[in-house]
Structure 1
Amino acid sequence: MLPILAEHDGGRTIEALLIERDPTLSQRARTAAIGLGLPRTDVRTADAGATDTYLHIQPAHLLLTCGVFGNITINDVGRTIAMLHTLVLADGIVIWTRGRTDDGHDPSHDIRACFAEHGFIEMSFTSPADARFRVGMHRLTARPATVPPMPPGTRMFSFI
């Protein structure tokens, strides 16, 4: 992701926030951002499932939840999607991933329905027949005029 950000305007105007719980991985991301000349990239070593991590940040134009929905319960998926309107701007885009399960069940259908229930329209969905992965892209179209801030001390999800 970081090399792609660096291609846009030499990375000078892109503001990015990366959240990684593992200190080794977050340090690698910090080092890479510096090496790519991305001065406005903030890498936080924090818990992405805790709402306190997002206090005092501005809503994003683009939010990636890749590698999350396949590692949390379906209840946590629903809770997380319900809170995304606090993290993205009106017309903001969320890109997400989810894989099929070993028994052939495809939870991506439930995820797509959950996005629709929470004011997002589907822009794209990729579901290759010969692969387990699914990639969805949704735009927030029903963001309230006044959005309360992310509630502190709340858990959106926990990795299982």
Structure 2
Amino acid sequence: MDWSAWHDQYDVADSSMARRLQTVQGRILAALSEAPAGEVKVVSLCAGDGRDLLEVLAAHPRRDDVRARLVELDPRSTAVARERADRADLRQVEIVTGDASLIDHYKDMVPADLVLVCGVFGNITDPDIERTIAACKQLCTTDGTVIWTRHRRVPDRVPRICDWFETQGFELRWLSAVEAGFGVGVHRFAGTPQPLRHGMRLFEFVGSDVLRQAEAAEAPEAPTPRRPD
């Protein structure tokens, strides 16, 4: 996957990806504005080029309160993220080129006030989605916020994702409308953070294309129309 070209789709005016980005940024802005006084810790899994968080932080009145760590495997994307953070003089933002599924990358930054899991759930299997949601109890502080995304193509997993979050002690705060064509969710953690389980892998990033092919192969064949006698 050429992730640089993929991220270029965010620049296409009024595209689904551009509208999803705007929605995510609006939720990030609200979460930062509502965070308690003092330092605000943010971690972002599979952060890409970081534009969802960094573009908000650049102009946010609490930018100097935010300490963030963005983890992304693709070095071209992290190079863009570093350039964007440097240009905005966001000195407390750390860009890590590494496997975002390894929970040790978030050591010393959790429990965080804001956890971003954007562009992840559409690229991993259902068991890994559920495992990652459960692990958010290690990443998120009490009353902290998780912002996540997932496409709404068949099979639409958004309702199930909301159920999985609820099972783990998260309360739904906001969910994009079905008519939007994409899923953006905001959950608040009402429980007590769990200790970080060092060495834990949250998921395997298999990619949406691979998942679609597997789902198509497993779908039952449509019955052959019977010719009238």
Quote the sequence identity (%): 39
Q: For the pair shown, which has the larger CA radius of gyration, 1 or 2?
A: 2
Q: Which structure dedicates a bigger proportion of its chain to helix?
A: 2
Q: Which residue number in structure 2 is paired with residue 34 of structure 1? A: 86
Task: Point out 4+ residue stretches in structure 1 off by more than 4 angstroms.
Answer: none
Taking CA–CA contacts closer than 8 Å with sequence separation of 6 or more, which of the two structures ends up with the larger relative contact order? 1
Aligned partners of 2:144 and 2:188 also within 8 Å:
yes
Letter in 1 for 2:68: A
**Unaligned runs of at least 5 residues, structure 1:** none
Aligned partners of 1:50 and 1:155 also within 8 Å:
yes
The CA RMSD over aligned residues, in Å, is: 1.5
| Pairing partner for 2:198 from 131, 139, 152 | 152
Letter in 2 for 1:55: K
| Pairing partner for 2:74 from 22, 31, 42 | 22
Letter in 2 for 1:137: V
Q: Which structure dedicates a bigger proportion of its chain to strand?
A: 1
Q: Which residue number in structure 2 is paired with residue 119 of structure 1? A: 169
Structure 1 Cα separation of the partners of residues 118 and 95 of structure 2: 16
Question: Is 1:142 matched with 2:194?
Answer: no
Worse overlay, 122-131 or 70-79: 122-131
User: TM-score, normalised to structure 1's length?
Assistant: 0.90
Structure 1 Cα separation of the partners of residues 62 and 92 of structure 2: 12
Worse overlay, 35-44 or 3-12: 3-12
Deviation at 1:12, TM superposition (A): 2.4
Structure 1 Cα separation of the partners of residues 62 and 139 of structure 2: 26
Structure 1 Cα separation of the partners of residues 179 and 55 of structure 2: 29
Cα distance per residue 1:19-49 (max 9 Å; x no partner): 1101111111011101101000001001111
Aligned partners of 1:61 and 1:93 also within 8 Å:
yes
